[in-house]
Amino acid sequence: MTAAVRDIAQKLGCSADSLRVWYKKAQRDVGKEAGPTSAEKARIKELEREVRELRQANEILKTASAYFAPALTHASMCCRAAGQSSTARSANDCIH
């Protein structure tokens, strides 16, 4: 660190490392340094949260479909055996 950075950091009441981090972040945000901007980092974080939520929803749907599949399969076979085709609410129903 240069003496100027340490002096400015002291005047601002922060560490020289904090000042360096803020400076690099500002440089990225205006395109003067490579790397994702603050807005891009925020968007990435938001998308990662959305991916986690969607994966959780998929797991819930997989569990639900595994739970309901036997009843739907049974109802479908009953309807086919009776010569009917429709959506069943339960294993004993054939809706027309």
The model's pTM: 0.56
Q: Which domain holds residue 48?
A: 3-68
Does residue 74 fall inside a structural domain? no
Please list the pLDDT of the chain residue by residue as tens digits (96 residues): 689 999 999 999 999 999 999 999 999 999 999 999 999 999 999 999 999 999 999 999 999 998 888 877 766 666 666 666 555 555 555 554
Does residue 10 fall inside a structural domain? yes
pLDDT on residue 72: 73
Within 13 Å, how many C-alpha atoms sit on residue 15's CB side?
Answer: 3
Does residue 78 fall inside a structural domain? no
* Overall domain count for the chain: 1
CB of 18 closer than 8 Å to CB of 6: no
Cβ within 8 Å of residue 89, ≥6 positions away = 75, 95
Does residue 51 fall inside a structural domain? yes
Does residue 39 fall inside a structural domain? yes
